[in-house]
Amino acid sequence: MANPQPTKCKVAYHSSCHLRAAGVTKEPRAVLAALPGVEYVEMQDADRCAGGAGTYLVKDFDTSQRIVERKRRAVEQSGAEVVATSCPACMIQLRTGLQGTAEVKHVAQLLQEAYEAADRL
């Protein structure tokens, strides 16, 4: 496998509740920061829920929307072009809440993109 190559983007990390509860907080950030071309930026409230939380989005839609709006503002303030997370449910909530202001990707997607770029060289 080739060395990862630049993806050229500013990336913030949204810490999913499940990984955070498992004590995994630094590792995803370290992976992102190590990717060539990625400018990793910390985001305010990165460790706060995005408002999806299982069925919470359905059970309490209004509160869910207020929570994701707070997250949207944090993403905007960070200047991130991409928000990475490790949770598919968070990805859905963030994509809906960010309304295209930033891309939402799984950490593994960014890693894959970097390796694919290296393979093209």
CATH of the domain at 73: 3.40.50
Q: Which domain range does residue 73 map to?
A: 9-119
Could you tell me if residue 69 is inside a domain? yes
Per the CB < 8 A criterion, the answer to whether 104 and 94 are in contact is yes
Q: Which residue has the tokens 């060289």?
A: 121
Query: Is pTM, for the whole model, over 0.75?
Result: yes
Could you tell me if residue 104 is inside a domain? yes
Q: What is the mean pLDDT of residues 94-120?
A: 90
What is the spatial distance between Cα 120 and Cα 111, in angstroms, rounded to a whole number?
15
Q: What is the mean pLDDT of residues 68-91?
A: 95
Whether 17 shows a pLDDT value over 60: the answer reads: yes
DSSP H helices, 3-60, are: 17-21, 26-34, 56-59
Could you tell me if residue 67 is inside a domain? yes
Q: Other CB atoms closer than 10 Å to residue 56's CB: what's the count? A: 16
Number of domains in the chain: 1
Position 88, amino acid: P
Could you tell me if residue 112 is inside a domain? yes
Could you tell me if residue 4 is inside a domain? no
Q: What is the mean pLDDT of residues 7-12?
A: 86
